[in-house]
Amino acid sequence: MAPAVLVIRRQDMDEVIDEKGDALLDRLAENWTPREMRDLASTLLRLADSLDQDWEPPQSKSIFRWPNALTRIEKNALNLAMKARLIYDSRRKRRELIPAEYLGEPAWDMLLELFMQYSGGAKVSTSSLCIASDCPQSTALRYIAELEKGGMVKRSSSHHDKRVNFVELTDKGIIAVGTYLDQH
C-alpha cells in the first residue's frame, strides 16, 4: 500500500499563517514590553542572516596546529561567547536603571555581538549589527567604519542579495575580544 500524501494548498497555509500570526501579534502587544519585542526582532534578523548565508564548514585540514592566540580562542569560542552574552545582557539590564546616554559604548556592544555570532560560525548583517549597538543607525555605521579602519572587522556582500552586507570580526578582532573575555 502506498503511503498517504497530505496535500495542502498554498492559499490554505497562508490563511492559517495569517490567523496564527495575528493571534501571536495580539499576544505580543498585550504581554511584551517594547524592549522584549525589539529583542525578538533582533533575534529574527540574526536568524534571517544565517539563512541568507551559504555557510559550509571549513575544509578539513591537519588535526595538529601550533597553538597561538587565535587557535586558543577558537578552541574556547563557545565558552567565551557565553561570557560575551552575559556581558551584553548585563549592559542591557544596566540601561533599565541608568539612561543610555551615560553608558554609551556602541562599538563594544557590536564587538560582543560579532564575537557571539563568530562562535556559531555566522556572519551578521549591517542592519542587525546596528540594532545590536543600541544607538542610532548613523552612529552605528560610523562605529562600523572606525572598527573596519582599525582592522577589527571586515565587510562583505551577500551572495544571495546584493543589498545585504555582512560584518564579521577579523583575526585581529577575534584575538582582541577573545583575549579580553578569556581574562575577565
Residue 60 has what pLDDT?
Answer: 45
CATH of the domain at 151: 1.10.10.10
CA separation for the pair 71, 30 (Å, rounded): 47
Percent of the chain with pLDDT over 70: 72
C-alpha cell at 120: 556559531
* In-domain check, residue 156: yes
Q: Which residue has the higher pLDDT, 42 or 180?
A: 180
pLDDT bracket for residue 2 (50, 70, 90): very low
pLDDT bracket for residue 165 (50, 70, 90): very high
Whether the model pTM is above 0.95: no
* In-domain check, residue 104: yes
CA separation for the pair 116, 88 (Å, rounded): 10
pLDDT bracket for residue 152 (50, 70, 90): very high
The pair phi, psi for residue 3, each rounded to 5°, is -65, 145
In sequence order, the β-bridge partners of residue 125 are: 166
User: What average pLDDT does this structure show over 113-137?
Assistant: 89
Give the burial string for 167-182 (b: 16+ CB within 10 Å, else e).
Answer: bbbbeebbbbbbebbe
* In-domain check, residue 184: yes
C-alpha cell at 3: 503511503
Is the pLDDT assigned to residue 11 strictly greater than 70? no
Is the pLDDT assigned to residue 175 strictly greater than 80? yes
Helix 137-149, helix 126-133: angle, nearest 10: 110
Is the pLDDT assigned to residue 150 strictly greater than 70? yes
Domain that holds residue 109: 68-184
Is the pLDDT assigned to residue 141 strictly greater than 60? yes
Is the pLDDT assigned to residue 10 strictly greater than 50? no
Ranges 20-29, 41-50, 84-93, most confident: 84-93
Whole-number mean pLDDT of the chain? Answer: 76
Residue 40 has what pLDDT?
Answer: 72
* In-domain check, residue 166: yes
* In-domain check, residue 62: no
Number of folded domains in the chain?
1
* In-domain check, residue 48: no
CA separation for the pair 157, 145 (Å, rounded): 15
Is the pLDDT assigned to residue 24 strictly greater than 80? no
Q: Identify the CA nearest to 127 among candidates 111, 102, 144.
A: 144
Is the pLDDT assigned to residue 68 strictly greater than 60? yes
* In-domain check, residue 33: no
C-alpha cell at 12: 490554505
Q: Identify the CA nearest to 152 among candidates 121, 180, 183, 182.
A: 180
| Residue 37: other Cβ atoms inside 10 A | 13
User: What average pLDDT does this structure show over 3-24?
Assistant: 56
DSSP 3: P
* In-domain check, residue 22: no
